[in-house]
Structure 1
Amino acid sequence: MKALVLAGGSGTRLRPITHTSAKQLVPVANKPVLFYGLEAIAAAGIREAGLVVGDTWAEIEAAVGDGSAFGLEVTYLRQEAPLGLAHGVLIARDYLGDDDFVMYLGDNFVVGGITGLVERFASERPAAQIMLTRVGDPRQFGVAELDAAGRVVRLEEKPASPKSDLALVGVYLFSPAVHAAVAELKPSWRGELEITDAIQWLLETGLRVESSVITGYWKDTGNVADMLEVNRLVLEWLDAGTYGRVDAASELIGRVRVEAGAVVERSRLVGPAIVGAGAVVRDSYVGPYTSIGAGCAVTRSEVEYSILMPRASIDGVGRIEQSLIGHDVEVTRAPDTPRAHRLVLGDHSKVQISS
C-alpha cells in the first residue's frame, strides 16, 4: 500500500500567514502539522508516499526532503492549481499504479493515528473506506448519509441542506477502483473534482464503501482557531524538560519544555508550554498552551494560548493571547492604553502596539 498526501492547498482561511508560508508547515507544538501526518503514515507500516504539492512545493520539499527522516520514500507530484482532492488522485495515477492507497490531507490532525484503519481496509478490501465524525455545522464539509444499517448510501460536498451531521475526515483508503471513478468526474459548482463525487460514483456502480465513525479527536487545521486548538491538544502530551538555560530568578510551573540553546531569564512560565531551540524569554510571562518557536525573543511581555513561529520577536507588549504570529515578525511597544491583543500576522511583519 502507498500513501498519497495532499499538500497543495493555498490555505486561504489562514491568510495572511499563508501568503508567505505553506499551510501544512504551520507549526503545532513547534512541529509542522504535516509532519504529524507523515509520522502516522509511517507508523501504519506504509513506506512509500506521494506528496501532491502546489505553489509552495519548494518550501515543503526543503522541509520533508526525501522522507527518510520519517521512514518514508517520498515522491513529489506537482499540481498546477488546487483543483480538488480527486484531481490530486488524477495526477498521481501513474505513481499509484494498481496499488491500494491511503489519501491523507496534509493539514489534518487525527489523534491515535491511522494504523487500525489501514489494518481494517487490508482485511476487508472494500473499494473505499472513509472516516466520519459528527460536527456542529456539516455545511462546511463533505457529508455522508447512512441507512438504518449504518451503510453509506450517499455523499455530498458542502451541502446547503445536509442530510446528516457526519462529516468526512481527511483520511480515505482506496482500491484501484477509484481511478475509474475519478476518470468519469466533471468539475463541481466549485470548479473542482470532488472526492465525494468519486466515492458516490463507486456507490452507484454497486461497489462497497465502508465507513467508521471516529470518537477521538480530529481537526482540519484550516483556520487560526483550529490551529490553536490543536496546539493546545498536542501540548497536553508534552514531555517536560529543561535542556537550555533557566536562571534562578525564573519559575517553571507544570509541563514546560525548554529546548537546547534556549535561555529563560527572570520569567515565569506556566505549562503546558514549549520554548524552542535558541529562543530567549526574558522578564516575561508565558502562559499555558503557548509554543515559542526556534530563535524567537520574548522580552518584557506576556503571551498565552498562542503560537510564535520561528524568529518572531515580542518586546514590551503588555499581553498577547489567542494569536498566531508568523516567521520574523516584530511586535513592539507603542505608547498608551494597555490591552490584551489578539493578532494574526504574516511573515516579516512589523507591528507597534500600545502597551
Structure 2
Amino acid sequence: MTSTSDSVAARATPSITTAVVLARGLGSRMRAKGGAALTAAQAAAAASGHKALMPIGEHRLIDYSLSALADAGIRRAVLVVAPEHEEFSRHLAEVTPTRLEVALAVQEEPRGTADAVASAREVVGEQPFIMVNGDNLYPVEGVARLLRAEGNAMLGFERAALLERSNIPAERIAAFALIAHRGGRLERIVEKPDAATLASVGPDALVSMNCFAFTPEIFEACARIAPSSRGELEIVDAVRALEEVQVLPFAGGVLDLSRREDIADVQRRLSGVEVAL
C-alpha cells in the first residue's frame, strides 16, 4: 500500500479525475462496542460512526484514502457526508489538501448508497467519476486502472487475492457480492452467495468491493430504482439498471474498517505508508 505516485504519473493521463467517496455511513457495526483496545480518540470516532475520520497513527483514514486517490490520478474528491459534517469540515481545514480539491456533498437522509451517489450530482456535474467507500482503502494500481476506463465500469477483485492481501476474514469475503461477466461485460451481480454458489465459481471468482467508474448516466439509473428489501436505494440495483458495465478483473487487496476489531490491523498495515495531501 506504499505510494506509487511516480509510476502512476508516468502513465497516460487518466480519463477520469473525479472521485465520489461515500463517507456518510451510519457505522452501526463500528458503533457496536466490543473488546478491541482503542485510544480515546479512536473510541470517540467509533462511537460517532464516522469511520472515515478514524485516527490511524498520525492521520485519519480519509487522509490515506485521499492520498491514494491522488497517487492514482484523482484531482477532485467529493465526500458524501451527513448534514452534520462539522468534523469533516474542521479536519479538511486542518490538513489543507493541495494535491487535489476536496468538496462536500450532503446526503440529507441515510437512504442507501444509490441515494448517496445521487446526492453528489450537483457537485460532480456532468463529468465521469469513480465511486468508492469511505471505510475502505483501495490499491492505487487498481484505482489507476479504473480511471482509464471508458463508460461505466467496475473493478472485480479476485477472491483469492482479496483474501491473501486484505485484512478481511474469509467468512466476510464469502458474503460479498460475486460478479458474473462475459467478454468483459457484466452479466449479473450475485449478492450474499450461498455455499454452493461459492464452491461452483472457484477461488478466482470476482468480488465487488464497491469500486466503480460511472458516467452521468448513473444519476438517471439511481432515480429509476425502487428501495430494496432493506428499505434502501442500493447502488448495486442502479448498476443493474445501466445498459452496459465493463468488468476489470484485478488481483489485489482492500483494507476494510467496518468494525472496531479492524482498527489495530489496519493501523499496523498502514504504519509505513506515506500520506501526501
TM-score (norm 1): 0.58
Correspondence for 2:77: 49
Identity, % of aligned positions: 32
1:182–1:198: 8 Å Cα contact kept in structure 2? yes
Correspondence for 2:216: 176
1:212 to 248, 261, 269: 248
Using the TM superposition, give the Cα deviation of residue 52 of structure 1 relative to its aligned residue in structure 2, in angstroms.
0.7
Correspondence for 1:167: 207
Can you give the 5+ residue segments of structure 1 that lack an aligned partner in the other structure?
A: 240-355
2:153–2:214: 8 Å Cα contact kept in structure 1? yes
Correspondence 1:91-102 to 2 at 5 A: 91-102=119-130
2:157–2:209: 8 Å Cα contact kept in structure 1? yes
Measure the CA separation in 2 of the matches of 1:32 and 1:131: 27
| Alignment pair present for 1:142 and 2:177 | yes
2:146–2:153: 8 Å Cα contact kept in structure 1? no
Using the TM superposition, give the Cα deviation of residue 238 of structure 1 relative to its aligned residue in structure 2, in angstroms.
6.0
**DSSP-derived class of the 2:77 partner:** strand
Query: Whose relative contact order is higher, 1 or 2, with alpha carbons under 8 Å and at least 6 apart?
Result: 2
Correspondence 1:303-318 to 2 at 5 A: none
Give the number of the structure whose alpha-carbon radius of gyration is greater.
1
**DSSP-derived class of the 2:237 partner:** helix
Measure the CA separation in 2 of the matches of 1:44 and 1:8: 23
Measure the CA separation in 2 of the matches of 1:79 and 1:66: 23
Which has the larger share of helix?
A: 2
| Alignment pair present for 1:5 and 2:21 | yes
Correspondence for 1:76: 104
Correspondence for 1:126: 151
1:141–1:158: 8 Å Cα contact kept in structure 2? yes
2:157–2:251: 8 Å Cα contact kept in structure 1? no
1:133–1:168: 8 Å Cα contact kept in structure 2? no
- Cα shift readout 1:143-167 (whole Å, capped 9, x = no counterpart): 32234x4542101444557565532
Q: Structure 1 residues 93, 140: CA separation in 2 closer, same or farther (over 3 Å shift)?
A: same
User: Given residue 4 of structure 1, which amino acid in structure 2 is its aligned partner?
Assistant: V
Correspondence 1:317-336 to 2 at 5 A: none
RMSD: 2.6
User: Given residue 187 of structure 2, which amino acid in structure 1 is its aligned partner?
Assistant: V
Please list every run of at least 4 consecutive aligned residues from structure 1 whose deviation after the TM superposition is greater than 4 angstroms.
Answer: 159-165
Using the TM superposition, give the Cα deviation of residue 226 of structure 1 relative to its aligned residue in structure 2, in angstroms.
2.7
TM-score (norm 2): 0.72
User: Given residue 105 of structure 2, which amino acid in structure 1 is its aligned partner?
Assistant: L
Measure the CA separation in 2 of the matches of 1:93 and 1:228: 35
